[in-house]
C-alpha cells in the first residue's frame, strides 16, 4: 500500500512540475498587445491578422497574413524575426513598401504625443515591454 502512495505522489509531483515549467504569458500582456495591434497594425493587416484591413486597399500589394506566420515557419513562431522586421532592423525586399519602421515612427496611434509612453524616455522608440506585448498577441493569432 505504501508503494502505491509513493508512486501516486511522485506521479503527481512530476505532473505539477511539467505544468509549471512552461512559459505562460500573462493575460494582461496579451491584452496590451491586442490594444497595440488594433491601434497600429489592424488598419492594414486586418483585425484577425489576415491582411485584409481597410487601409490595405490602397497599398498596391496586400499586407502579409500575420495569422499564418507559424504555419509558414515549420510550426515555430518567428518571434525574433518579426521584432527585427517591425523595428526596421532588416532590409526590406522593396524599400518603398508602406510598412512603417516602428523604431523610427514609434507607436504613433497608441501614444500620439510622442510615439512613446510618457515617463519612458523621449523620442519615438518602442519600449521592450510594448514590443513583447505585441509579439505575445501576434502569437495568439496563429492558426
Q: Which residues of 15-51 are buried (b: 16+ CB within 10 A; e: fewer)?
A: eeeeeeeeeeeeeebbebbbebbeebbbebbbeebbb
3 located within any domain: no
62 located within any domain: yes
Give the position of cell 525586399.
Answer: 93
136 located within any domain: yes
Binning pLDDT at 50, 70 and 90, where does residue 4 land? low
**Of 49, 32, 47, 57, which is closest to residue 128 (Cα–Cα)?**
32
7 located within any domain: no
- How many CB atoms lie under 10 A from the CB of residue 53? 19
Residue 85 pLDDT:
94
Per-residue pLDDT tens over the stretch 32-77: 999 999 999 999 999 999 999 999 998 888 899 999 999 999 999 9
pLDDT at 89 over 60: yes
Computed over every residue of the chain, the mean pLDDT equals: 83
CATH number at residue 107: 1.10.760
Binning pLDDT at 50, 70 and 90, where does residue 25 land? confident
Q: Give the separation between CA 131 and CA 126, rounded to whole angstroms.
A: 7
Query: What residue numbers bound the domain in which 136 lies?
Result: 24-140
Alpha helices (runs of H) in the chain, residue ranges in sequence order: 2-20, 27-40, 42-45, 79-86, 102-105, 128-140
Mean pLDDT (whole number) for 76-80? 98
Total number of domains in the chain: 1
pLDDT at 97 over 50: yes
Binning pLDDT at 50, 70 and 90, where does residue 28 land? very high
Residue 21 pLDDT:
46
68 located within any domain: yes
pLDDT at 128 over 50: yes
Mean pLDDT (whole number) for 110-114? 81
4 located within any domain: no
6 located within any domain: no
Binning pLDDT at 50, 70 and 90, where does residue 118 land? low
Amino acid at each position: 500500500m505504501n508503494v502505491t502512495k509513493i508512486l501516486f505522489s511522485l506521479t503527481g509531483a512530476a505532473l505539477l512540475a511539467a505544468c509549471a515549467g512552461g512559459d505562460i504569458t500573462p493575460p494582461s500582456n496579451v491584452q496590451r498587445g491586442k490594444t497595440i495591434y488594433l491601434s497600429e497594425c489592424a488598419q492594414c493587416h486586418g483585425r484577425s491578422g489576415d491582411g485584409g484591413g481597410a487601409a490595405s486597399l490602397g497599398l498596391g500589394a496586400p499586407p502579409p497574413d500575420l495569422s499564418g506566420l507559424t504555419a509558414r515557419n515549420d510550426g515555430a513562431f518567428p518571434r525574433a524575426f518579426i521584432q527585427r522586421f517591425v523595428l526596421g532592423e532588416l532590409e526590406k525586399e522593396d524599400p518603398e513598401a508602406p510598412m512603417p519602421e516602428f523604431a523610427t515612427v514609434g507607436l504613433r496611434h497608441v501614444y500620439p504625443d510622442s510615439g512613446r509612453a510618457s515617463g519612458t524616455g523621449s523620442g519615438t522608440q518602442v519600449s521592450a515591454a510594448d514590443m513583447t506585448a505585441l509579439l505575445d498577441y501576434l502569437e495568439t493569432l496563429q492558426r
